[in-house]
Structures are given as C-alpha cells and as structure tokens.
Amino acid sequence: MEGDKTTKTTTSYSATKDGAVPVALTEAKVRIAGAWSGVIEIELEAWTLPMLRQEVARRAGSSPDCINLICGGKVLRDDDQAKPLAQLGFKNNAKVLATVVQRDRGKAINDQAAAEAEHAKKLARIKDAAKALTERHADGSLPVEDYNIELEDQSGQKMMLGSESDKKALMMGLMLHTNARSFIRKQKFKEALDVLYMGEEAFTLCDPKLTEMIDNMPMLQLDIVWCYFMLRDVSCLAVAGMRLQKARKGFERSHGKDSSRFRLLQAGYQAELAIYVRLELLEGVVAYHCGNFKEARKSLSSAQAKYTQLQIPDEALSLLLGMGYKENAAKRALRMTGQDIQSAVDFLVEERARKIRRKEENIQRQAEILEQQEYGATPKNKPIDLQQLNELVSIGFERDLAAEALRVNENDAQMALDLLTDPEKNCALQSQLEKRNKSRALKQTEADIEELVSMGYDRSSVVDAIQRSNTIDEALDLLDGVSSGNNRPAVSNQPMDNQETPSASCEQNQMDGVEEERLKYERDEAMEDELARELTGDPMADYDIEVTKEGEAIAEYMSLLDSIPSTA
C-alpha cells in the first residue's frame, strides 16, 4: 500500500524548567519475519531495542531472552539500552528477522556482547592512560604524581634520544608491551594480542634506526606469535612466519652474532637463552604446519638442546635455598648463569644490591618531585632543575628565592644568577615570591574551608576556626568542640552578616583557578597507576621466562615429526 511508504509526525511534550516544550516523535512501521511475521508500529525516537525485542517476544509467545533480532545482516545486541531505534539506523519499513534460540544461547550471546564491549572499553582506557603518561613524562614537564617515568638501558642508565617524538613513541610502546605481558602471565592471550598490536603501532612511530638498536621490537613480535600459538590459531601461520623472521633479524642486530654483544653487556650471563628456546620452538611449529618437516626438526632440535641447558639440577637449587635465597630468585639466577653455582650467587648478590639501590633512588626521586611541585612549574611547565638550584644555594642564596629565580628564567642558571645579584631585581623577585606564597596559601585556605563545609559545618564557624588554627586538623578539633556543645554540627552554608569573608567574585575566581588546574590534569588515575606499577625497572624481566610450556610443546611436535617416517 502507498501509505506504508510514508511516515507521520505526532507531537508530545517534554517538561523543562521553563515549561512544556513540544518534541516531535516519528511513527514508523517495522516489518518482522521469522519467529513471528507481521508489522509493528513504533516511535523511532522513543522505542529502544529491548522494547522491540520484548514486543516481538510477546507476539511470538516466547521470552525476550530467546529472541534473536537481525537487521541489515547484523545481529542486534543490547549493548546500549538508552539509544532509541532511530539512532541505531532504523527507518520506516525496516525489515527485521526474528529467530528463536535457546534461553542459554540467547543469554550467552548477550553476555558475549557485554564482554566484548567491556574489553573494548578497557582497551581504550589502557591506550588513553598510556598516552597521557607519555605526554606528561616524555617532555620533562612537571609531574603531577610522586613518581617519574624514564627510559633506561639494561645497565640502568638513562637513554638519551634524538627527538621528543621518538621518546614518546618508544615510551608508549614499552608501556603497552609491559601491560600486554601482564595479560600473558594471566593466560589472557586474546586480550594480550590486542594490547600488543597497539604497542606495535607505537613502536612504528619511532625512527627505525632507534628500534634497530634495541631488542624491544623483536621481543614484541615474538610475544605476538606466542599468543597465536597459545590460542592455537593456525590461521595466522603465514603472518607468524613473517613476524618470526623479523624477530630473528632484530635479535641478530641488537644481540650480535651468536649473542656476543648481548653477553658482553650482561657480564657473560646467558640471560637470552630462554628467548631463543621460544623463538626456535615457534619457528619449528610454523615450519611443521607449512609442511617443511626437515626445517621443523632442525629448529625443534636446536630448541630442545637449549631447553635442556635451562633445566635446573635439584642439587644446585637445594644449595641456593640452603643459603637463604627464595626459590623463584634461585631458579632465575641458575637459568641466567648456566647452572654455575658461584656465578648464580654473584648474580643474586648483584640483584639484591640493585634492588636496594633502586629503592633508595626512588625514595630520593619522590622527595625531589615533591620539592619541585612545591616550587611550581616554569612558564613552559618544566620543573625546577634541582642541580642548578643546589649550585645557587651553595654560593649563599636562599633556596626558595633561588628556586623562584630559576623558575621565571626557565632554569637558565646564568640569568637566574644575574637576577639574584641585582639588588633592585632581587627585591622585586622577593615581592613576587611573597605574593605567590600568599596566593598559594589563600587557595589552600579556600580548599580547606570547602572541605569542612562539605562535612556539614556552618561556613561562618569554619572560617573562624581556620583563622584561629594552623592546620585543618586543629580547625576540625575546634569545630568538634563547638558542635559538641550544640549536640550537632550546623548545616547552614550562609555566612553571618558581620563575618568578613572573601567577596563572591574573589572566591569564585580562586575556585575557578583550582578547577582549571584540576581539569588540566584530570586523568584515569586507576589505569595510569596500574600501568606505572608494571614498570618495575627490572632489566632482566623480559628474559625471565619459565620454559615449562615450551618444553611440553617441543616434545609434542617432536613426537608428531617422529610419526612421519620421511623426517626421521
């Protein structure tokens, strides 16, 4: 009928603070086929997908959990129940196929959709948090946390890179790779793959000359193929072969021929052995599934020999345990040193000294960051250079004044010295510093007032208590004393007529400043802290692989090869 091709508009009303406002609702028809056939009249801007599913289920005499809706070749999921059908692409005369599934299957479909949506949301959080950390820490800006993220080599020395963009790309790639490894440890290989792909994308933004010098990129390629293998994803074999080739070439460039350069840097330790067990195992697996059985046996035999070298004798482990070392640390030391007892002990001593040194450095760095935050950022948002500050203090200048001189001069020590030694400019600097300190104190006072008022205390009482106290705790004690006399805290937020308080405009300006600073650094603290905690600074973490699964896989594929006479 011709009328089926048109729509009509009705008017309803939505209440607002100003009164009733007309809202146009478009009526349309949805044609259903399958479990129930017919036409349902709906309002595109008012109906949601769960409403449509429930109506189809009612007419089909079934449960909504058992109704599966397909439109335009796409299975409709209840991902976002708030969206009207118009926003989901529904139009007049839309055709929908309805099928009946088992209740468990229908629930499983919705649960899967919810899980996928949650996973996508977490991936976005991981990427955004890594990007935010990178932006704040790669350019040397004043940290908003009490830690700082820096790039180091395996000896613990800071890496000096050519450009800020390379540093950002490398830092983000490393954070994402580290996060992916945490998923791998939890046996969540699909989730790990998604994060590894993001890390790979970040690494590709680096100068290739830089990534060729380090083994992070080949390690990432190896981890991707390992996830393929653990997921038993045979469809990725062709891509896996290319990734393994890139990994081997990358290791040869960064480790040197036969790992000579790597072992020289690691004082002769064979820390990389477990990496090559995994690499050769995966090369053998790919060769086997491609029908290249001879190459598969060669790779697997080499992996098996290295795997045997990594097996820890009970006597050696017992000896180290008897010395008081923990089992995991003792196994790691023996794997890294080829089961040589003395070398393993030396390794453990070095590890303990490194951890103590790292802890002391972290404590010192935290104290430095807190001090830098106290002085504030330079006009370009850089922290005060504490080395330059200590030099100025050593020749007799007050620390706060010297810090202010460096701050206004972007850490230029000579310009700061010129300013400090000029009597007139020095006087002006002291006046400026005094104003900054008063402004900072006023902001803190306002923040303390708002915090106490939010707890239910009367604003005028709060202001009086703050003025009579040195700390917010003392003010709280005074308020509790007053409140106990009244048996309850006052809840009025209006100041007394004779109470001297900052004017409304002044108070609002101060709050705007606080809010602006807060919004400037608004962040996903939980995810950022999770990413930061994973960055342990352990130079051997990437090579510390328990090769039990690799050994099982080697035995499995060698058995498969033995069952083929031509490869024996």
Is pLDDT above 70 for 518? no
Position 299 scores a pLDDT of: 95
Q: Which residue has the tokens 């004393």?
A: 481
pLDDT band at 488 (very low <50, low <70, confident <90, very high): very low
Is pLDDT above 90 for 556? yes
Residue-wise pLDDT tens digits, 370-379: 888 888 888 8
Residue-wise pLDDT tens digits, 85-123: 888 888 888 888 888 876 555 555 566 667 777 888 888
Average pLDDT, the chain: 79
User: Is pLDDT larger for residue 52 or for residue 447?
Assistant: 52
pLDDT band at 557 (very low <50, low <70, confident <90, very high): very high
Sign of CA dihedral 113, 115, 117, 119: negative
Contact between residue 262 and residue 539 where contact means Cβ atoms under 8 Å apart: no
Q: Which residue has the tokens 């709906």?
A: 42
pLDDT band at 218 (very low <50, low <70, confident <90, very high): very high
- Mean pLDDT computed over 412-437: 87
Residue-wise pLDDT tens digits, 188-201: 999 999 999 999 99
- Mean pLDDT computed over 305-328: 91
- CA separation for the pair 234, 239 (Å, rounded): 10
User: Is pLDDT larger for residue 11 or for residue 182?
Assistant: 182
Contact between residue 130 and residue 514 where contact means Cβ atoms under 8 Å apart: no
Q: List C-alpha distances in Å: 155 to 215, 285, 330, 360, 439.
A: 14, 34, 21, 17, 44
- CA separation for the pair 345, 356 (Å, rounded): 17
Mean pLDDT is lowest, of 417-426, 457-466, 475-484, 537-546, for 475-484
- Alpha carbon 25 to chain centroid distance? 43
User: Is pLDDT larger for residue 456 or for residue 9?
Assistant: 456
* Helix residue ranges, H only, 231-292: 237-255, 260-265, 273-289
User: Is pLDDT larger for residue 449 or for residue 123?
Assistant: 123
Position 10 scores a pLDDT of: 40
Position 516 scores a pLDDT of: 42
Of 5-14, 456-465, 486-495, the range with the highest mean pLDDT is 456-465
- Mean pLDDT computed over 380-393: 90
Is pLDDT above 50 for 489? no
Question: What is the model's pTM?
Answer: 0.65
Position 105 scores a pLDDT of: 54
Position 12 scores a pLDDT of: 39
- Phi, psi (deg, nearest 5) at residue 407: -60, -50
